[in-house]
Structure 1
């Protein structure tokens, strides 16, 4: 019996191929023009749905893969949507494929985090050790360090998790794109070792640095303050 063809999910009316960034369109030029535009539109649709309806986003990227499975961009999109939707094994499979196809470690932190989510913290740490971090973008270096610290916590290495995040980037005045997440992770690990006073300070630092509301640092700080009965320091 012939394999049933995957039905195309309906595209929102306002989707345009031109909404896809130039670099992505360039990569899709390996496909016939009509197919490139179809695949591109489904990638745009997935990008618009990933935060509000990850399951619908998944339908669009799965369809894109069915049409263009040899294009790294398409596999990357599927892997990232799967990761966002909590489908760890699928995310791992797709992003490993992208890593082989591109010979790039751009998504190594997400791959390691998926390993951790699947209950394999040792594998996450192995990935963090084997990759050449000097060749990674700074943001990826920080994300990988955060994942590795989490893996150490999973293994009961609480003090090592705290120490592993210390360094030049962990300074209260830093306002890099990754500062809020780094400060938050450090605070979270301080809580795990019972250093709650220091954790409160770093949650407050994270809240100050978190201009895009990526974390719940302010709420965590408030919770710690309520536990200790101390007033929360104003950071306006």
Structure 2
């Protein structure tokens, strides 16, 4: 457990759920939950271990079961995610994570169950964002079943034209569904509208739009950058080799005493001419440096 994690960092509402536990147990559970939240995106497997440790200490705390379910989902442990989030829903009476449950069913190859979750959902218990996410997942389940036209029809809702935090997600799903049935022009329009609404870059709508416009997004630019870097390294290596050769030929003053054999201007001029010739040859043979360019999985 990282030393900088303290129980006080846990959300106050969740901490209130731990008051029924012994003080030391509550503190341990709180720290595990904080660690889960901190790691769930970058290291979901470790986050899941922290959540499971919290569940071992406090299996009857709803927030603990929720944490296990979310961490399991992020870690790709679909069955555990389903079991824990269903337990959370039973304990709280909420339907907060129906979209996650439906997506887990899809991941397990059971799109029919994902659609059943959508159909049986109590819309009055869902917030707008939760309802939209569940709709997107259910539409994806239709596509899993080969019902691409039905997937498009499901997403033709009035919320498509609304401006909300979830607008980019819904518009992106609709554009993708349109593209799947060959309606590329309409798909382009909705990818564009998704990109406009996607202030936080939660989708790759902008990239999809460029692809539809014929702009190739591949590794060529990155390769050019790497080639340029390699050329720079080769140039530096050859310059070092040339410096060593010049030094050996007494053409570069390395700070040591001047050769005592150079006693008259004629000999010095001869050496200077020879040095100029070598430098010209090195310039002809030296390399040139090319200019370098630059360059979930969401639910459903």
TM range (shorter): 0.7 to 0.9
| Structure 1 residues 102-154: Cα deviation after superposition (integer angstroms, max 9, x where no partner) | 22211111111111111111111111111111221111110110011011111
Q: Is the counterpart of residue 225 in structure 1 residue 235 in structure 2?
A: no
How far, CA to CA, are the matches of 1:97 and 1:21 in structure 2?
A: 21
How far, CA to CA, are the matches of 1:67 and 1:225 in structure 2?
A: 55
TM-score normalised to structure 1 length: 0.88
Equivalences for residues 64-75 of structure 1 within 5 A: 64-75=54-65
Q: Secondary structure at the match of 1:202?
A: helix
| Structure 1 residues 211-232: Cα deviation after superposition (integer angstroms, max 9, x where no partner) | 222111111111121179xxxx
| Structure 1 residues 59-113: Cα deviation after superposition (integer angstroms, max 9, x where no partner) | 1111111111111110100100111111111111111111222222111111111
How far, CA to CA, are the matches of 1:19 and 1:227 in structure 2?
A: 46
What does residue 166 of structure 2 align with? 178
What does residue 61 of structure 1 align with? 51
Decide which of 52, 68, 77 is 1:87's aligned counterpart: 77
Q: Is the counterpart of residue 76 in structure 1 residue 66 in structure 2?
A: yes
How far, CA to CA, are the matches of 2:37 and 2:17 in structure 1?
A: 17
What does residue 233 of structure 1 align with? none
What does residue 131 of structure 1 align with? 121
How far, CA to CA, are the matches of 2:18 and 2:214 in structure 1?
A: 53
**Structure 1 residue 191, shift from structure 2 partner:** 1.1
Decide which of 158, 175, 187 is 1:187's aligned counterpart: 175
What does residue 12 of structure 2 align with? 22
When the two structures are aligned, how many residues end up with a matched partner? Answer: 216
Q: Secondary structure at the match of 1:194?
A: coil
Q: Secondary structure at the match of 1:215?
A: coil
Q: Is the counterpart of residue 154 in structure 1 residue 126 in structure 2?
A: no
Alpha-carbon RMSD across the aligned residues, in angstroms, is 1.4
What does residue 8 of structure 1 align with? none
Q: Is the counterpart of residue 209 in structure 1 residue 197 in structure 2?
A: yes
What does residue 40 of structure 1 align with? 30
Consecutive unaligned residues of structure 1, counting only runs of 5 or more, are 1-10, 229-236
How far, CA to CA, are the matches of 2:10 and 2:45 in structure 1?
A: 21
Larger radius of gyration: 2
Decide which of 113, 118, 128 is 2:108's aligned counterpart: 118
How far, CA to CA, are the matches of 2:207 and 2:20 in structure 1?
A: 48
Decide which of 182, 187, 192 is 1:199's aligned counterpart: 187
